[in-house]
Amino acid sequence: MPPISPCRAAALLQSTRTPLQRVPRAAFVAVQRQRRAASTKHPKDFTPPTNDDLEELRERTIEFARREITYEVAQSTDHNNEFPNSMWQKLGEAGFLGLTADEDYGGLGMGYQAHCVVLEELSRASGSIGLSYAAHSQLCVNQLQLNGTDEQKRQFLPGLTSGEKIGALAMSEHNAGSDVVSMKTTAKESDGGYLLNGHKMWITNGPDAHYIIVYAKTDPDAGSKGMTAFIVDTSTKGFSCARKLDKLGMRGSNTGELLFDNVFVPTSNILGGVGKGVRVLMEGLDLERLVLSAGSLGLMKAALDVTLPYVHERKQFGAPLAHNQFIQGKLADMYTKYRASSAFTYSIARAIDESYEDPEIRTQDCAGAILYAAERATECGLDAIQCLGGMGYMNEMAAGRIMRDAKLYEIGAGTSEVRRMVIGRAFNKEFGTR
């Protein structure tokens, strides 16, 4: 494949600026710090990609998926509940694993629209492969990009962006899913670092990962201020994957229960500072929800890919199924749900990319994007099964796999119920009634 053209040709249109006003030095410094912090949401020397850049990237991703994630690969990944590990280096060679990472560390530095494009098209080919890709590139790589020191980036990002190393993030536990602060995993200070003890549950890429961003309590009595994020090398003594989980959908996106038995993590592997775990988590959570909504978009496209040819070829009562008004209604609903969800996701991603110097990332926008897309994707999966009738219920067809995969996005990264609550609380905060 030819190298992707640099996304540096388009200059950001300058909006009308307010006249310069004198402000106290302290206020000026505070604003500059806030802007510097905000600018870290994007890679160094970032310039928003043009529509042509994004279209070229989409075409490259579609071509990659046609070649590497065939129907047979997607089906075997699901049926065997096994990720094709050779895929990681192929994704790395294509440049897909570091879309939001600095070019200095092997990334493409293209931003969140680009990340959504790639995840959408990979998920269209296989929801499972798309999910594992997102756990690596967004939950791990982007968290390191946002919060890592220069030394941490130099140490970990090149291997992760090349696909030589696999990444994951471990937050959830048996009794601490949406209620993050109730986690029991602890990190006690030891000579030159910390000893981690506890377990993590439902960790995507957990059985395969080389590096995992792990959240643990360094001060169990301090509530949300007592959590810290650590970069854990899984070759460290005391780390183990207790079991690989057998899931309803997203099969082959290897998911595990992880155990930590006096796992030593050096101080140099603390991500974002001691006691700053919640800040690190929230730093990436809105962007995580936004990017993951593109996984649902890909599954809606996949549902249409399966349904449209079938209903135009299959005949009943002497006419194609697509001539039946009930079927036409389902097709119209599926297509409209995809288009509306796509417009929501990409409008938010575009706004964040184009305001990169001082981005406003609104919780209600990011949570709303995945809330809407995830529920619509499950509906589209169910409609695909219904349109295919008896064949839709057969495992040899992709419709059932698409529906099972789609349901995960209503649960992972905060359930639909939590997303609704988060959106409501964001409005309360804006109106000063928090």
Active site residues: 288
Given a contact cutoff of 8 angstroms between Cβ atoms, the answer to whether 335 and 303 are in contact is: no
Which residues contact residue 296 at a Cβ distance below 8 angstroms, ignoring those fewer than 6 apart?
Answer: 123, 341, 370, 373, 374, 376, 377, 406, 409
Which of 133, 123, 206, 194 is closest to 163 using CA atoms?
133
Centre a 10 Å sphere on the Cβ of residue 41 and count the other Cβ atoms it contains.
24
Which residues contact residue 385 at a Cβ distance below 8 angstroms, ignoring those fewer than 6 apart?
Answer: 392, 393, 399, 400, 403
Task: Tell me the two tokens of residue 304.
Answer: 């249409």
CA distance 27 to 297: 42
Given a contact cutoff of 8 angstroms between Cβ atoms, the answer to whether 141 and 161 are in contact is: yes
DSSP bridge partners of 197:
186, 261
Centre a 10 Å sphere on the Cβ of residue 62 and count the other Cβ atoms it contains.
16
Query: CA 302, 297, 65 angle in degrees (round to 5)?
Result: 55
| Alpha carbon distances (Å) from 135 to 64, 314, 315 | 19, 38, 42
Which residues contact residue 54 at a Cβ distance below 8 angstroms, ignoring those fewer than 6 apart?
Answer: 113, 114, 117
Which amino acid, 284?
G
Query: Please, what sign has the CA dihedral across residues 81, 85, 91, 92?
Result: positive
CA distance 399 to 306: 7
Query: Phi/psi of residue 36, each to 5°?
Result: -65, -40
